[in-house]
Amino acid sequence: MTDGYTATSTIAIDAPRDHVWAVLTDPGATKEFMFGTELVTDWAVGGPIRWRGIWQGKPYEDHGIVVAFEPGRRLVNTHFSPLSGQPDVPENHHTLTWTLEDGAAQGQTVLTLAQDNNATPDAAAHSKDMWDSLVAAVKEIAERD
């Protein structure tokens, strides 16, 4: 797999890291911030992760592997979506890296989501737009709970 272009979205959230982490890893919250997706995983490093749902009237099941699980700090997983129209081969998989850091204000968290292996700058920009929306939804959930 090549690294291609990376799409990165970053947002400051007025909630502590452990709370933001709980939102990221809770299947109920995931359903809310990931466009209605059902998350299925046990978070074991090396284990599977699946996202199931319906997108534009079509059922889908994206899949990947949990690469790193560092509570309150970092989550890394691979990702492939059959909706991409590409063959399910490693060179078409992305790596999603979720990083949580302390923000400038006490009790604030900076969440960064990076997706590698975008084929073109336009594909990276499209991914960034989608991830910007997603991290904004994580912020909304974390700040209201």
pLDDT digits (tens, 9 = 90+) for 61-115: 999 999 999 999 999 999 998 888 889 999 999 999 999 999 999 999 999 999 9
pLDDT digits (tens, 9 = 90+) for 2-57: 468 999 999 999 999 999 999 999 999 999 998 889 999 999 999 999 999 988 88
> How confident is the model at residue 85, as a pLDDT?
85
- When pLDDT is cut at 50, 70 and 90, the band that residue 1 belongs to is very low
pLDDT digits (tens, 9 = 90+) for 124-143: 999 999 899 999 999 999 99
The neighbour count for residue 132, using CB atoms within 10 Å, is 16
Domains and CATH numbers, the chain: 5-144 (3.30.530.20)
- Is 46 buried (19+), middle (13-18) or exposed (0-12) by CB count in 10 A? exposed
User: Which residues have CB under 8 Å from 119's CB, separation 6+?
Assistant: 4, 5
> How confident is the model at residue 3, as a pLDDT?
63
Cα-based distances in Å from 31 to 54, 92, 124, 125: 12, 25, 24, 24
> How confident is the model at residue 18, as a pLDDT?
96
